Structure 1
Amino acid sequence: MKTSYKIILTLLVAVTLITSCSRKKNTFISRNYHALAARDNTLFNGYNALEEGRENLIQNYTDNYWEILPIERMQVFEEVTLPGQNKNQNFSRAEEKAVKAIQKHGMNIQGKEYNYQIDEAYLLLGKARYFDQRFVPALESFNYILYKYPASNNINQAKVWREKTNIRLENDELAIKNLKRLLEQEELSGQDLADATSILAQAYINTKSLDSAITQIDIAAKVTKSNDERGRYRFIQGQLYNALGDKDSANIAFDRVIDLNRSTPRMYLISAHIEKAKNFDYEQGNKLEFFELLTDLEENRENRPYLDKIYHQIAEYHVKNNSDSLALAYYNKSLRTDSRDKVLKAKNYEIIGDMKFDLAEYKSAGDYYDSTMTNMVQNSKPYRVIKRKRDNLEDVIYYEDIAKNNDSILKLVALPKEDKIAYFEQYIEKLKEAAEKEKERLEAAERKKGLVTTNNNFGNNASGLTGVKGSKGGPLPGQGSSFYFYNTTTVAYGKSEFTKNWGNRKLQDDWRWSSSIKSGVNTAETNPALANASNEEMYDPQFYIDQIPSEEKVVDSITKERNFAYYQLGLIYKEKFKEYPLAISKFTQLLDNNPEENLVLPSKYNLYKIYQLLEEETEADFFKKDIITNYPDSRYATILNNPEAANLEDKNSPETIYKNLYSQFENQKYAEVLSNIDTYITAFEAEEIVSKFELLKATTTGRLYGYEAYKKAINFVALNYANTPEGKQAQKLASSTLPKLSKKQFVSDTLKGNYKVIYKFNTADTEEITSFVKTLNEVNANIAHYDLSTSIDIYDPETTFVVVHGLKSIDGAKGFAFILRDEDRYKITKPSIAISSQNYQIVQIHKNIDDYIKEHQ
């Protein structure tokens, strides 16, 4: 009986407790039960998930120390997060826990919440949404706390987080207003004050009020409980002072970061040292002491992860001290650390590129600018600046390569046969030495391979003694343990040795010769004969001598190309880069090479202009007298004899001649343009404008001879003038326009459209054409209901069309001749061709009027 009473009593107590814990009853037990259940279970797990997610955000965020750091480390993505999508599962879990706490433990009775933990749940919900970058729903959560729980002890936190969200939504002015009111009305302290002032500082930074931001972030740094935050706030404070130009105050802030030492992340410590180093006064400061500090930072083992930044700063120190060679070494050391800081890498590459540019090593500078752009945000302003620099180098790199390669070839061509044999015998000796070293290396590698294999076999046998099949270190079933590639150690060693000796090679035949053999002239990459040479040929001097061009026509072509490259380099150095000594060097080398006549006079005139700019009057007078004496009838002599006339348009200048030719082109005098343009192209070969003449020639050729001739001419310009604006325009035409023009099939006539009537004439019959057009215009004026016009269009060298425009249907065009006969049956009797505007365009492009007549008769 006693047992039965105990059971009944227990059940009664349980039922009482359960009923008293109802969410709909405002009892002491119910309030405390749901509060404790929410706090110690649901919310506890939710906040743990939130912290895990926040730590992941911080770890995955990379600060850009070249700009003012944000107060909060969180990468904001531009893409919109849709409902049900989450970037981080931890935040999704935290949100679920918050919702669960509200749904299962909320005690909203008659509009009033009696569970004092529910405001904490809404705060967790808002934070989870905030970090998941769903800022509008987060704002709703924080506003709900302010509306429903005005007496909550979390009310200040909710206000701060609401303004953090407003800042993320770019409502900075609203956030400043609300935070200032909060700081005025409430007595905040501790972390609440730190959070409020730090986020207010962020709003001021966003609105460019840096002096106000400094005041607020100073308060945050003083009252925060986290040394991590304190180090970040002090560092940002230093950046703000630097942005305002107050280096002394900035250094004080950076010193405060350094004083924290191990209490704050080392990245802030190193960055503070770097920023102080940037502020160093090279005129008044102690350089020796400063360099010792940089050296200590470099040698400290704890700073190895930050050597990229330290090396860069040491390089900057050497630049300030005019030690360019040391600076270059440290910039390269910074790059070799394989830094993850793309901004730093871009700066290193750009600075080295500028140094190479200043040394006139333009090809090398171009390579560094290429690397700079790969570490920049595409289409950003800094990217476009570097791209312009790189594009300006395109021509000089192109012509420098031509000059260097052709000079090497011509030097070998000029050598006597005995000297050629001696040169290549010396080269072959180097090849033999390299081959011998390679043989020794391979033999050594083979011995090492045997040693490693033996050790491996021993290890396998030893493990086999245990009698355990498949034990660690033993051979896998079905494969011999002595095979080289089954041992990961030997494979890794082999890869390392191969890369060390040969570099990264493509999988191809004759890979050993592809880029390892270098000489002043030939490599297997530029001369296919070397790649296919046998061992016997590789060690025969005559084999190399046979590769040297000997035909006079080929040698002349190489010489002409070399001379033109020198002339172009002289112009580029003079006009683009203002490198006058280099320009003088190129023009002088050109004149020493007995160039073509059309290059001599412009080279001398350019030398005269350069010496004038350098105020070297003796040299300038020498070239002036040379031009006036030896070329008295040239336009250069005219300009030198009468400098005032230089400002007037010269009727014989390339520009004036081009304008006249273009005017003839617009007037359809295509035959006249083509008959004269080659003469001018030859006369002005050394001028930049020659590419404009060539493009005009290509266009005129197309108008007169049709698509195939145009295609050939455009490709010629694109290939031979690739580095000029006209050449690039030709490349664009070849790639995009020519394919569209290639269609020769005629289109079907439609009920509505634009149609024409064509009358064919022999181009030589100019009087007949003029008379016919006059008559046609008179007759057309009497035709009612039509708005007609007439034109004379060149078809080909022998044929001219008189074209009537303005007809709206093919039947109207075909019946046009009958209309004319009705008006005056004796004036217009010549046969006509009716054609649509689209088909007329095809006829003019492909010169296939006869095909059209056959199809439409």
Structure 2
Amino acid sequence: MAIIVQNCSRKKDTFINRNFHALGTKYNILYNGNIALDRGKLAINDAYTENFWELLPVERMQVNEDVFLPGQSKNADFERAEEKAIKAIQKHGMNIGGKEKNPQIDEAYLLLGKARYYDQRFVPALAAFNNILNKYPTSDKINQVKIWREKSNMRLDNNEGAIKKLKRLLEEEELEDQDLADATATLAQAYINIKAKDSAIALLGIAAENTKVKSEKARFHFIRGQLYNEFEEKDSANIEFDAIIDMHRQIPRAFYINAHLEKSYNFDAEKGNEVEFLEYLTDLEENRENRPFLDKIYYRIAEFHRYKASDSLAEAYYNKSLRKVTSDKYLRALNYETVGNMYFDRNVYKTAGAYYDSTLTAMTPNTKPYRVLKRKRENLDDVIYYEGVAQVNDSILHMVSLPKEEQLAIYAKYAEALKDKALEEEQRMEEEKKNRESTQRTALNSTKDKNVVSGMSPRGLPGFSSTGSDNGSSFYFYNTTTVAYGKNEFLKIWGDRKLQDNWRLSREKAGIKNSEKTENVTSITGEEDQYNPEIYIASLPTEQTVLDSISKERNFAYYQLGIIYREKFKELLLSKSRFEDLLQNNPEERLILPSKYNLYKIYTELGLSNKAEAMKADIVTNYPDSRYAEIILNPQSELSKDENSPEVIYTNLYKKFENEEYAEVIAEAGKQIKRLEGDDFLPKFEILKASAKGRLYGFEEYKKGIDYIALTYPNTDEGKKAQELLQNAIPVLAKKEFVEDDKAKHFNVVYQFENGSGEDIDAFVKTLNEEIEKKIKYFDLTTSVDVYDENTRFVVVHGLTSIQGATGFAQLLQSDEKDSRGRPVKPKITKDYFAISSPNYAIIQRHKNLNAYLKLE
């Protein structure tokens, strides 16, 4: 025992001691630690998903942004590897005379640094690597340690320092094989990080030549190919992708397929053979080994057909790509958005909107592409709405304008189509009924024959004889013949029922939609009346007021569409057609001038100089005093910065609103609303006018203004805000009941002044502030002058904490004073007042019900 204990000592530098600890460190502790490290690396690789849509990183590792407390680990395997490394250092380190005698301790520190690095604790990892460089400069792992140290520095965004040290390492040391591959690959990543991508290409080539790991070789070639594509050197990129393709089954299939696809994107459609290229893509599609990657292959084929303007084939392949189950959200978003754009270009906006909705579900929220598409989708809501209004109203007005004979012919044709459709549906259901009866008879005969063979009566339980003994038949739901018989019996008794609660009590059957439209037709016209053309003719509007309202709504829809297409989607031709259609339909006066100005701008942008000049002359001649004429005659300024621009006018008017000049705001806003018909700034003036009316005339006027904005400008930001106010704020503001004083925390004293009374409000406020400063020492009081209505103003003292305190304060100001000789002096504040809580003061300002409050006192 004494000999064994002596040999285990870490303080004696003997041959036996050194080798005892070295062997124990290498084959026990470090062996288990490296197994844990490899297991952790494997878990990282399994969790990592390559994003071939972007430039691949040199190292396959995803850095998370999660914050962990000191001592916490993200991965139990790396924690175990770190524990083993620390154990080796603490239990088997032989630091004698300032030198380490155990040759495995540098390996332990290297394991420690790697475990921390993969656990994404880069600062402690850097400390472990620096420890090796400082204490074990002659270690055979010293070059690997230097590479790992710079990898840690790069993760800490010290790319410049890493480049400097790695270049020195490559110049001073003769690295070979994997060490050379690791050093050059790490240096290449550092250059990529600082956007010096051209310097990375040659280094990755060296790394690809020297690495012995096939997956790394494929990765380096792929990154080189991506970089060459960025520099538009397609031939060089294809050489790199061919190198990957030649490795075939030696590398992960994902690299092989994506190399094919990247190479296909470099195909020159103008010079290349399109037939051979399509065969090449078809071979990729039909290869059974490529089934897990069909989503990307289908997308590439769709892109080829879209380039060839074969939209129907392209859409079919985009949808085939979408139907493949994939974890690639970027590809799903790309498919949805591309198909949505195709429908958008064909002006099928409702379908385009549905595809954009699906695109948003596959995108990362709050990113720039997400916000751009979301804004486009929201704009599309307006297009869908106004196109629907225009289409329906155009149809109604067109039908009304036709002679009755033509109306009768159109509706007769429509009724005939309804009859044919109903007849086809009836024939289909009759055919289905015959098929069910035939299947039922077949199933019943088959079941009877089987029962005879098995000794079971037709009413016996399937799978058991009439005596109750098991005959070895399968359970009921595993017997397809018996299940088919049961289904047919159910259909015969109950019909084709919808899957829902209380299905036995419901009258609805599967496949039959009980829409409001159907209910209305059957309840009003009956089943036979829907085939009577006279019913439809009778439903057409005939009153001129109704027709005028429909025409007005249609014209406004055309105007809004013209604005949206021009401003939000840059679809000048569509915008042009909407404005031209509008002007041909006898629009309201307020829409004519802005429509003509927009057409002038569109004609100019499209290069239609003759039409632009004619429209310019029309505007300048017929509307010489208008803002639009001024813009045309002075195109350099466009009134964007002068005193007549809507922005400047609105800003100045808002300052008057803040200064409580409500009457002037109302008058000026009304003037600008008439002047700016059709301008985007118009709703802002409307809401400012409504707010000023509310402050001056009370809640009801404010509500009327907000309601008008919500109805007139439903698709502007102001209109949507008004709708929110009507739903949420208006019901709360409508309450007139006064709050009990004991429930309030803040109180005011109010002095009332009538306009034209001759009283000097400014002088009163000055005196009031002086008296407050002289007599009140314990409260932080403030004063304000508030408008109540057109004839009344309030001087208000704020900051009191009770109704009794407010009353006492006012009485204190009115109490007699004495001069320096003790003689009574008349108080300076003698005006009548009333005390009120802050919530009740808000109510009287909102509803202008001061008299109702005073009667309560």
- Answer whether TM exceeds 0.5 for this pair: yes
Equivalent in 210, 213, 216 of residue 229 of structure 1: 216
> Amino acid of the residue matched to residue 176 of structure 2?
S
Q: C-alpha displacement at 1:335, in angstroms?
A: 3.2
What amino acid maps onto 1:136 in structure 2? V
- Report the Cα offset of residue 222 of structure 1: 0.9
Deviation larger for 117-126 or 61-70: 117-126
Cα offset, 1:233, TM superposition: 0.9
- Specify the SS of the correspondent of 1:767: coil
Q: Deviations over 1:784-807 (max 9, x none)?
A: 95699998744245x512426689
1:74 pairs with one of 54, 61, 83: 61
Map 1:200-239 → 2, pairs under 5 A: 200-239=187-226
SS of the residue corresponding to residue 756 of structure 2 reads helix
Residue 781 of structure 1, CA deviation: 9.6
Query: Aligned partners of 1:836 and 1:474: how far apart in 2?
Result: 83
Deviations 1:680-714 (A, max 9, x none): 86897655454234323421331133335434542
Structure 1 residues 658 and 50: alpha-carbon distance in aligned structure 2, compared to 1, 3 A threshold: closer
1:259 aligns with 2:259: no
Distance 1:462 1:751, change over 3 A: closer
Which residue of 2 is the match for residue 62 of structure 1? 49
- Are the equivalent residues in 2 in contact too, given 1:235–1:257 (CA < 8 A)? yes
Give 1:722-737 correspondences, 5 Å limit: 722-731=714-723, 733=725
* Structure 2: runs of 5 or more not aligned: 491-495, 776-780
Deviations 1:438-465 (A, max 9, x none): 5645765787799899799999999879
- 1:717 aligned to which of 709, 718, 722: 709
1:845 and 2:836 aligned: no
Q: Residue 589 in 1 paired to residue 594 in 2?
A: no
Identity %: 49
CA gap of 1:121–1:666, structure 2 versus 1, over 3 A, is closer
Query: In structure 1, what is the Cα distance between the partners aligned to 2:481 and 2:394?
Result: 48
Matched residue, 2:557: 565
Query: Which one-letter code corresponds to 1:185 in the other structure?
Result: E
Deviations 1:310-356 (A, max 9, x none): 33334444455555555444444433334432223333333444444
1:427 aligns to what? 418
From the superposition, tell whether residues 316 and 503 of structure 1 become closer, same or farther in structure 2 (CA, over 3 Å).
farther
Contact in 2 for aligned 1:138/1:165 (Cα 8 Å):
yes
Which residue of 360, 376, 392 maps to 1:389?
A: 376
Distance 1:448 1:66, change over 3 A: farther
Counterparts of 1:617 and 1:152, CA distance in 2:
81
Q: 1:639 to 1:216 in 2, by over 3 A?
A: closer
Residues 773 and 802 of structure 1 are in contact (CA less than 8 Å); yes or no, is this contact kept in structure 2? no
| Aligned residue pair count | 816
Please, what TM-score do these two structures have when normalized by structure 2? 0.77
1:757 alignment partner, SS class: strand
Counterpart residue type for residue 579 of structure 1: E
Q: Deviations over 1:599-642 (max 9, x none)?
A: 4565456556544655556656776788899xx57856994999
Structure 1's 31 and 575: CA in aligned 2 closer, same or farther, altered over 3 A?
closer
For residues 54-453 of structure 1, the aligned pairs below 5 Å read 54-83=41-70, 85-102=72-89, 113-321=100-308, 323=310, 326-408=313-395, 416=404, 418=408, 419-420=410-411, 423-434=414-425, 436-438=427-429, 440-441=431-432, 444=435
Letter in 1 for 2:846: I
Contact between 1:789 and 1:806, CA under 8 Å: does it hold in 2? Answer: yes
- Structure 1 gaps of 5+ residues are 1-13, 495-500, 518-522
Contact kept, 8 Å, 1:820 with 1:828, in 2: the verdict is: no
**Mapping of residues 537-686 of structure 1, within 5 Å:** 545=536, 548=539, 550=541, 552=543, 556-596=548-588, 598-600=590-592, 602-603=594-595, 606-607=598-599, 610-611=602-603, 614=606, 616=608, 635=625, 639=629, 643=633
Does the aligned pair in 2 maintain the 1:258–1:269 contact within 8 Å?
Answer: yes
Is the CA contact (8 Å cut-off) linking 1:237 and 1:250 kept in structure 2? yes
One-letter identity of the residue aligned with 1:302: E
Q: Is the alpha carbon distance of 1:533 and 1:781 closer, same or farther for their aligned partners in structure 2, counting shifts above 3 Å?
A: closer
Give 1:124's aligned amino acid: L
Cα pair distance change 1:376/1:663, threshold 3 Å? closer
Deviates more, 1:402-411 or 1:732-741: 732-741
- 1:767 aligns to 2:756 (yes or no): yes
SS at match of 2:751: strand
Q: Is the 8 A contact 1:201 1:214 kept in 2?
A: yes
CA displacement 1:263-315 (0-9 Å, x = unmatched): 22222222223333333444555555544433433333322322333333344
Instruction: Report how far residue 69 of structure 1 moved.
Output: 0.8
- The reply on whether 1:795 has 2:788 as its aligned counterpart is yes
Change (3 A) 1:569 1:219: same
- 1:498 is matched with none
- Alignment CA distance shift 1:742-1:451 (3 Å): farther
Closer/same/farther in 2, CA of residues 177 and 658 from structure 1, 3 Å limit: closer
Quote the Cα distance in structure 1 between the aligned partners of 2:529 and 2:129: 81
* Aligned-partner Cα distance in 1 for 2:818–2:623: 61
Alpha carbons 1:58, 1:73 under 8 Å: kept: yes
Letter aligned with residue 204 of structure 1: Y
Change over 3 Å in CA distance of 1:45–1:547 after alignment to 2:
farther
- Partner amino acid for 1:585? S
Letter in 1 for 2:684: K
What is the CA–CA distance in structure 2 between the aligned matches of 1:544 and 1:564, rounded to whole Å? 30
1:134 CA drift (Å): 2.7
TM-score w.r.t. the length of structure 1 is 0.77
The amino acid across from 1:212 in the alignment is: S
Task: Tell me, in whole angstroms, the C-alpha distance in 1 between the residues paired with 2:698 and 2:202.
Answer: 76
Distance in 1, Cα, partners of 2:71 & 2:390: 64
SS, match of residue 563 in structure 2: helix
Separation (CA, whole Å) in 1 of partners of 2:637 and 2:603 = 20
Partner in structure 2 of residue 53 of structure 1: 40
Alignment of 1:809-828 (within 5 A): 810=806, 811-817=808-814
Shift of 1:70: 0.8
Corresponding letter in the other structure for 2:719: G
Query: Which one-letter code corresponds to 2:187 in the other structure?
Result: L
Deviates more, 1:21-30 or 1:86-95: 21-30
Decide which of 692, 699, 702 is 1:707's aligned counterpart. 699
Query: Do 2:751 and 2:831's aligned partners in 1 also have CA atoms closer than 8 Å?
Result: no
Relative to structure 2, which stretch is displaced further, 83-92 or 56-65?
83-92
Measure the CA separation in 2 of the matches of 1:83 and 1:670.
62
Matched AA of 2:579: F
Deviates more, 1:747-756 or 1:81-90: 747-756
AA aligned opposite 1:433: E
Query: Would the aligned equivalents of 2:7 and 2:20 in 1 still touch at CA under 8 Å?
Result: no
Indicate the SS of the match to 1:399.
helix
Structure 1, 397-406 or 610-619: larger mean CA deviation: 610-619
SS at match of 2:752: strand
More deviation, 332-341/256-265? 332-341
Change (3 A) 1:70 1:633: closer
TM-superposed deviation, 1:565 = 0.7
- Cα pair distance change 1:302/1:669, threshold 3 Å: same
Native 8 Å contact 2:771 2:813 kept in 1: no
Partner of 2:750: 757
Give the Å deviation of 1:181. 3.2
